[in-house]
Structure 1
Amino acid sequence: MAKGHDMQSGLPRHGSGHRARLQHRILTGQGHGLHDHELVEYLIALAIPRRDTKPLAKQLIEEFGSFSRLLVSDADALVNFPGMGETSVAALKIVQVAGLRLISEPARTQPILSTWQALLDYLRADMAQLAHERVRVLHLDSKNRLIRDELVSQGSIDQAALYTREVIKRALALGSAAIILVHNHPSGDSTPSRQDIAITKDICAAGRTLGITVHDHIIIGKDGHTSFRSKGLI
């Protein structure tokens, strides 16, 4: 492949013709046809402009399994991958941050119960591919608008802590009228465990005594999601 030139430095830039074609497809609305590795290639090229990033992009997709798993992977794991650095990882992570911001906007700006599908889309995009368990509590006001989306705990591959006292104490501190519990199952199966059901019942009971409603407990998995309310568990 012919080499082009960096217009700012005058130095040769690897793969400039190929990158120009990728850029043209992106700018003309044809980016939806790009392969996953081409998306990664272009993103990394923004951080490493004088390097052929195609081989590295393919290696990353192969190592992490898919484009989505690559984006949600731990930053330390990405930084330590041969050929990567903090600037390259940041180029990937800004896409994750921007994508989540875009998806979450309806849930952040409108009453959550009226934008339920948007909330589920956001949670699945953020948590379905995680290799470790993450527990979050969404705090809502009296009009079911989001006050705070808080990460409560982050655990091992199959366990993270959720404590009734701490959840209710935080809800009182924020003045929450309602909460939604959320966690993921790294195994991919969103079926609730006995422990999930027990802790949810405890939090619901504690909330009722203090006027705090638990709207739902949502478990996110690669297979989809499970809503405690829709299953009759709340």
Structure 2
Amino acid sequence: MSHDLFPSLISFEFSASVPLFVRDAAGEHRPAEADQVLLAAQRLLARRVRGSAALSSPALVRDFLRLRHGALECEVFAAVHLDSQNRVLDYVEMFRGTVAQTRVYPREVVKDALARNSAALLLVHGHPSGLAEPSLADQALTQNLRTALSLVDVRVLDHLIVGGSVIYSMAEHGLM
């Protein structure tokens, strides 16, 4: 998951001379608000990610996660549920915390994986500070979740930490 297309978009600036339009309830077109554009992008990426071969399209998954976690003001822990062929079954935001931490309950993660008949998970959480480096608590949590999920034959493929536009992969850094 090292290929990254998003940094090229960081310098993109919305130009008022080329507005984007949305259709309102009355069917009239009007200039779109920034949050409407982001919401539409999230929906589009979610449709593309769901049912796709997640591991063969890491840039798509990363773009989706940046949109979902990159600008959040609090930590959110989520799971990307995968089937036995590593296709995305679902994306679930499981826990919300504060600006510096969130409480994650391994029992609930296991229950959620079983309810969705997941074969594997990608764990995800954001660091509102913008620093994507994992803390010792992040590393310990990852190991606890891997142990708990392995008891029910669910593999943890990676734990991704989103810090603004940067995504840190624990698997890529040998922490899995």
Same fold (TM over 0.5): yes
Q: Which among 124, 127, 137 is matched to residue 182 of structure 1?
A: 124
Residue equivalent to 2:36: 94
1:72-123 deviation digits (Å, cap 9, x = unpaired) = xxxxxxxxxxxxxxxxxx9443211111123344322311111111101111
Return 5+ residue gaps in structure 1 as ranges: 1-33, 48-89
Q: Which residue of 2 aligns with 1:196?
A: 138
Q: Is the 8 A contact 2:38 2:67 kept in 1?
A: no
Provide the residue aligned with 1:127 in structure 2: 69
TM-score of the two chains, using structure 2 as the length reference:
0.79
- Correspondences of 1:49-68 after superposition (within 5 Å): none
Q: 1:214 pairs with 152, 156, 160, which one?
A: 156
Q: How many residues align?
A: 159
CA distance, structure 2, for counterparts of residue 109 and residue 203 of structure 1: 24
Aligned partners of 1:189 and 1:223 also within 8 Å = no
Partner residue, 1:136: 78
SS in 2 for 1:181: strand
Match of 2:107 in 1: 165
Q: Percent identity?
A: 35
Counterpart of 1:228 in structure 2 is 170
Q: Shift in Å at residue 207 of structure 1?
A: 1.4
Does residue 36 in structure 1 map to residue 14 in structure 2?
yes
In structure 1, C-alpha distance between the alignment counterparts of 2:115 and 2:139, rounded to whole Å: 25
Q: CA RMSD in A?
A: 2.6
Q: 2:123 matched to 1:145?
A: no
Query: Structure 2 stretches of 5 or more lacking a match?
Result: 1-11, 25-31
Letter in 1 for 2:44: L
Larger Rg over CA atoms: 1
User: More helix by proportion, 1 or 2?
Assistant: 1
Separation (CA, whole Å) in 2 of partners of 1:185 and 1:193: 10
How far apart, CA to CA, are the structure 2 residues paired with 1:93 and 1:126?
12
- Counterpart of 2:58 (choices 116, 121, 130) is 116
Q: What TM-score results when the alignment is normalised by the length of structure 1?
A: 0.61
**Alignment check: 8 A CA contact 1:139 1:179 kept:** yes
The whole-number CA distance in structure 1 between the counterparts of 2:71 and 2:34 is 16
Asked if 1:155 is matched to 2:97, the reply is yes
1:223 shift after superposition: 5.5
